[in-house]
Amino acid sequence: MRIIFTSIFILFFLSACEKNKNSSDPAVLPDAVLKTEVLTQSLKFPWEIIYGPDNFIWFTERAGKISRLNPSTGVITLVRNITEVNSIGEGGLLGMVLHPQFNANPFVYVVYDYGTADNYKGKVVRFTFNNGVLSAPLVLLDQIPASSNHNGSRLLITPDLKLLITTGDANAPAQAQNTKSLSGKILRLNLDGTIPADNPLPGNPLWSYGHRNPQGLVIANSALYSSEHGPDTTDKINLIQKGGNYGWPNVAGKTGPMFAWTPTIAPSGLTYYNSDYIPQWRNSLLVVTLKGSMLTQLQLDDNGIKIKQVKNYFQNQFGRLRAICQSPDGKVYIATSNGTNDQIIEISAR
């Protein structure tokens, strides 16, 4: 009887030790309880939000404004109003990215639409931040076909300091398959606007093609992920490959996207989350959606090439959501796209 009791005690002790060990293991941290706070609610069609190295949230509004938001006080400071912008339909001032070494190279890259309805174009412009304002505009790429919708326009700077630009088909679907057209593509430039020598086609900014309306772009796990609007079916998350053809308009989506939604949800801004601050979101793509009016978590496998689990948050709580970013400490920020009284919202852990 004593031997049996001793064996049971040893098993219990070992089990308790294992539980204590696991409780400190980041892989099994308890889920955080999420809290939301509206930081500002006076905006009109914000399109991009970036948590800057100055601890301000930089954001664009479609009519032409670039501003900085102090997340601690809610105070907004205008740094540039681009008067050339013409917002037609879903066009206007859209994507933005800051130089990764912003303190040494205070450059801000934006993409915006201008012109008239019958001659509507997009351009990529670099500004310099100095004394609280953006100045010295330098055009890096011009004459991008634009339209009242399907403009793409997410910007990303890669670790090797190349500028990626998503473009939509600008309501001319066949041009997505035309490698000489700038529309329906993911484009790749050097940061001075020249074309990298290792692009798929010599002298061509094309990186991938056959896109309908890609509005999210992020690099993680040594991979490039995009979110893209389909037609009536097949919104998707894609792994982007150099020179890849993603099918539009011949097919709604390339065979084997990482994930697809039917019915559609209009996925837009995309980020990769891997912080212990909200442990249930670790190793996940977070995408905000317009039609779906929610934030969707796509948890990745250890290799970052398959989606293990999908979970939705804040559905219909804030309306249409366009953009997402995160702070170094793991807080997440989202921007609405409802047109009146738009908001920037902080998601934190209680």
Strand-pairing partners, residue 80, are 66
Q: Which residue has the tokens 């206007």?
A: 92
Count of CB atoms situated within 10 Å of the CB of 268:
27
| Residue 284 burial (C-beta neighbours within 10 Å; 0-12, 13-18, 19+) | buried
Is position 150 annotated as part of the catalytic site? yes
| Residue 155 burial (C-beta neighbours within 10 Å; 0-12, 13-18, 19+) | buried
Asked if 188 and 207 count as a contact pair (C-beta separation under 8 A), the reply is yes
The string of DSSP codes covering 93-134 is EEEEEE-TTTTTS-EEEEEEEEEETTEEEEEEEEEEEETTEE
Among 297, 348, 342, residue whose Cα is nearest residue 319? 342
Residues 296, 294: Cα–Cα separation, whole Å: 6
Residues 101, 221: Cα–Cα separation, whole Å: 21
Among 346, 348, 339, 344, residue whose Cα is nearest residue 48? 344
Which of 99, 150, 211, 229 is an active site residue? 150
At 8, the amino acid letter reads I
At 88, the amino acid letter reads I
Q: Which residue has the tokens 């894609």?
A: 238
DSSP 317: T
Residue 174: helix, strand or coil by DSSP? helix
Show Cβ contacts of residue 222 under 8 Å, excluding neighbours closer than 6 positions.
304
Angstrom CA distances, 20 to 13, 24, 29, 275, stand at 11, 7, 12, 22
Catalytic residues: 150
